[in-house]
């Protein structure tokens, strides 16, 4: 979807391009900001401008709306640049999926560019070309809250194809909201990886002074080009400094803060490694790249849900699905009053998994009677596995086991480091 014709006419009459500063006069308010490229999922009559505070807002424009050019910053069309090639260097593929990381400016000139291609994204951090050759493609351009299981499947195929066509590693710029879910899905869908698959996001877009986009992308490229790991990982800022990025295992990582750059946390396990001023350190045992070819196994059962338990939950609040992940309280509990409903659903064929809303720690349903009653009813406890990972794995396992017992065995078998043996608690107290 593009801008409506009348918006394009207005902008064209002003010679206003994305990156220029414009003023929009609406009946209720006036806005001044940087003209942003049209987002493919916005309505045609929406104009997006970036305000001084760094936030983008979408404004409904009609034919009468007055738009003025305040400052011309973008002088001419961006020239097509050729990606340099150096045959002595490894080649990585960047597969774009959208998200904050894909809205960028050239961080030296400050000019805003639409991330119409992953190539643009690579050019926004030209140090990348010192490290490796880059091939780019765009899988889709989505805010990650709009990414659906179908998109995981598309992405898995593209990654396999990239690795089977000679890429040392793959970098996937991705929205942060559901990056953990995608990383978990890819961890189960991709087999015999011949190199690293690195998901990377940004909490703040490149036109904000505190942006983490360039650093995260550069370090993700470093890890992909190094080619040491045969796993799906997620890379984001390790702490509040700009020097370090963490390498998180794809099945154990979770967005644990809405806005901080170090929002991503490895749960129940230490981080796999980190990059500090360009130096990669791997701290844990990891899977080495295989000889390939990379294969995909992407079948998913989509009749699965996550349920969050709370006091006052009623039996009818637990829906009939082929699979359910319950985020129970504490060690993996729900109210005794709900056990008959759970039992009924399991008898009807549902596979029901118990995770904990505590997020951290191990589910253990043998300690209290409520847990034992649930086990007796057939609920499967998943030890240290994240609820989000359990959800993705259950979708996958339901298409891979023919009987309840096979599905249970699959869920309890550690396939991609999703069930850390020990637990580590990463919460800091004040």
206 token code pair: 């490149």
SS3 15: coil
65 token code pair: 């709306």
Query: Is the CB of 270 or the CB of 401 nearer to a second copy?
Result: 270
Work out how close the CB of 403 gets to a second copy at its nearest, in angstroms, rounded to a whole number.
Answer: 24
Whether residue 293 has a cis bond before it, omega within 30° of 0: yes
List the one residue from 145, 347, 414, 421 that touches a second copy (CB under 8 A).
145
Query: Is the CB of 212 or the CB of 388 nearer to a second copy?
Result: 388
CA distances from 359 to 253, 267, 312, 389 (A): 11, 8, 21, 12
SS3 203: coil
Binding mask 161-200 for a second copy (x = CB under 8 A): ---------------xxx--xx------------------
Whether residue 416 has a cis bond before it, omega within 30° of 0: no
CA distance 70 to 56: 17
Binding mask 208-247 for a second copy (x = CB under 8 A): ------------------------------xx------x-
- Of residues 41 through 100, those in contact with a second copy by CB under 8 A are 41-42, 46, 55-58
SS3 31: strand
CA distance 56 to 34: 9
SS3 146: helix
List the one residue from 312, 348, 405, 422 that touches a second copy (CB under 8 A).
312
CA distances from 77 to 19, 122, 137 (A): 11, 18, 21
* Binding of residue 34 to a second copy (CB under 8 A): no
- Of residues 390 through 419, those in contact with a second copy by CB under 8 A are 391, 395
- Of residues 328 through 357, those in contact with a second copy by CB under 8 A are 328-337, 356
* Binding of residue 428 to a second copy (CB under 8 A): yes
List the one residue from 144, 215, 216, 298 that touches a second copy (CB under 8 A).
144
- 348 catalytic, yes or no? no
- 100 catalytic, yes or no? yes
Q: Considering the candidates 91, 97, 100, 389, report the single residue annotated as catalytic.
A: 100
Instruction: Kindly determine how many residues on this chain lie close enough to bind a second copy according to the rule CB under 8 A.
Output: 84
Q: Which residues are catalytic?
A: 100, 176-177, 255
């Amino acid at each position: 979807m593009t801008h409506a014709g009348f918006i394009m006419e207005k902008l064209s009459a002003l010679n206003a391009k994305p990156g220029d500063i414009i003023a929009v006069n609406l009946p209720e308010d006036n806005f001044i900001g940087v003209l942003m490229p049209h987002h493919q999922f916005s309505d045609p009559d929406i104009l997006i401008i970036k305000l001084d505070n760094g936030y983008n807002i979408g404004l409904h424009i009609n034919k009468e709306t007055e738009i003025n050019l305040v400052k011309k910053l973008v002088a001419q069309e961006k020239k097509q640049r050729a990606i340099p090639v150096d045959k002595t260097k490894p080649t990585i593929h960047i597969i774009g999926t959208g998200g904050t990381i894909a809205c960028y400016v050239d961080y030296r000139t400050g000019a805003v560019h639409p991330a119409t291609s992953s190539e643009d994204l690579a050019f926004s951090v030209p140090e990348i070309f010192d490290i490796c050759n880059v091939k780019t493609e765009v899988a889709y351009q989505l805010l990650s809250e709009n990414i659906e299981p179908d998109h995981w499947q598309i992405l898995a195929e593209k990654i396999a194809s990239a690795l089977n066509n000679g890429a040392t590693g793959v970098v996937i710029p991705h929205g942060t909201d559901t990056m953990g879910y995608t990383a978990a899905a890819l961890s189960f869908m991709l087999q015999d990886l011949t190199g690293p698959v690195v998901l990377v996001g940004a909490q703040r877009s490149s036109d904000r002074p505190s942006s983490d986009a360039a650093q995260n992308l550069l370090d993700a490229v470093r890890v992909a080009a190094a080619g040491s790991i045969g796993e799906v990982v997620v890379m984001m800022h390790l702490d509040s400094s700009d020097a370090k990025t963490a390498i998180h295992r794809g099945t154990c990582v979770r967005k644990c803060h809405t806005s901080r750059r170090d929002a991503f946390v490895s749960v129940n396990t230490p981080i796999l490694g980190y990059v500090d001023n360009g130096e990669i350190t791997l701290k844990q045992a990891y899977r080495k790249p295989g000889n390939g070819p990379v294969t995909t196994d992407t079948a998913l059962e989509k009749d699965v849900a996550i349920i969050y338990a709370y006091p006052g939950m009623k039996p009818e609040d637990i829906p009939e699905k082929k699979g359910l992940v319950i985020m129970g309280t504490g060690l993996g509990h729900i109210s005794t009053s709900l056990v008959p409903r759970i039992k009924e659903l399991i008898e009807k064929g549902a596979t029901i998994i118990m995770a904990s809303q505590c997020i951290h720690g191990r589910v253990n349903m043998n300690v209290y009677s409520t847990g034992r009653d649930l086990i007796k009813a057939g609920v499967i406890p998943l030890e240290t596995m994240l609820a989000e990972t359990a959800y993705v794995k259950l979708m996958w396992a339901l298409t891979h086991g023919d009987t309840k017992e096979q599905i249970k065995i699959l869920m309890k078998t550690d396939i991609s480091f999703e069930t850390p043996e020990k637990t580590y608690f990463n919460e800091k107290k004040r």
